[in-house]
Amino acid sequence: MIKRKKFAQRLLENIWLLIFAILTSVSLWFFIVYKGQSETVVEANIEFKNVPKGVEILRQNVKRVNLSVRGPERLLKNLSPSELKVFVDLSNAKFGESIHYFDKQNVGLPKAVKVLKIEPNHIRIFLDESISRVLPVKAILVGSPEKGYTVQSIKVIPTTAKIEGPKNEISKIRFLKTEPIEITGIDSEMTINAKLNLDGKMARVEPSDVLVTIDVIRRTK
């Protein structure tokens, strides 16, 4: 009877020692894992992937999101907003308006950094058919030649350019314009490379610039 009692006491003591060891190990693990951990909010760009051929993004209600993240303090300090991206998969996208919710798994971050929250949590986009057109190019002049002179001719090379983008926008364009060309005070022929101005449209143009020659002559009395 006495031996059994001593055995039970030792077993109880060992159980408590085991529990204490487990708690100590867990506490040490938490200390090691979360030592130097910090939380912060960073801004990230939105990037679309798997965009189907012939599909254009006409509009989107947000271009950046705020990420609440946690990770080693040294890593968080070195995060560059320009390198952070939240990916939106458009592989099953259809024409028209749609809502896509952000997935924490589709965020480009170091493995040691965890995403806690994404704000806003979704993006609203409008997809359109992609088309291309060849349109004439018009030089846009600003100012006036030297007193007594007038513009005799404007030559643009090439005379046309190919523009590609959302059908809803591209179909409304009648011609392509250059960036404003300043001609104030000129009294002889001027040749300049001028970029084409898309007026903020989500489109691509080829070539992106043209050669413009402005010829001026003296007015006759």
Q: What percent of the chain shows pLDDT beyond 70?
A: 83
pLDDT in the model for residue 28? 47
Does the pLDDT of residue 24 top 70, yes or no?
Answer: no
Sort 98 into a burial class: Cβ within 10 Å, 0-12 / 13-18 / 19+. middle
pLDDT in the model for residue 35? 52
CATH fold, domain 139-218, is: RNA Polymerase Alpha Subunit; Chain A, domain 2 (2.170.120)
Q: Name the CATH code of domain 37-129 (choices 2.170.120.30, 3.40.190.10, 2.60.120.10, 3.40.1650.10).
A: 2.170.120.30
Binned at pLDDT 50, 70 and 90, residue 129 comes out as: very high
3-state secondary structure labels for all residues of 77-118: HCCCCCCCEEEEECCCCCCEEEEEECCHHHEECCCCCEEEEE
Higher-confidence position of 21 and 113: 113
Binned at pLDDT 50, 70 and 90, residue 6 comes out as: low
Q: Under a CB-based contact definition with an 8 Å cutoff, are residues 101 and 65 in contact? A: no
pLDDT in the model for residue 109? 80
Domain ranges of the chain: 1-35, 37-129, 139-218
Does the pLDDT of residue 7 top 80, yes or no?
Answer: no
Does the pLDDT of residue 185 top 90, yes or no?
Answer: yes
Of the candidates 48, 29, 155, 152, the one whose C-alpha atom is nearest the C-alpha of residue 93 is: 48
Per-residue pLDDT averaged across 19-27, rounded? 59
Q: What percent of the chain shows pLDDT beyond 90?
A: 52
Whether 139-218 and 37-129 are alike in CATH topology: the answer is yes
Higher-confidence position of 15 and 48: 48
Q: Under a CB-based contact definition with an 8 Å cutoff, are residues 121 and 88 in contact? A: no
The winner for highest mean pLDDT among 36-45, 76-85, 188-197 is 188-197
Per-residue pLDDT averaged across 87-101, rounded? 90
Does the pLDDT of residue 32 top 80, yes or no?
Answer: no
Q: What is the mean pLDDT of the chain?
A: 84
pLDDT digits 0-9 by tens, 156-168: 999 999 999 999 9
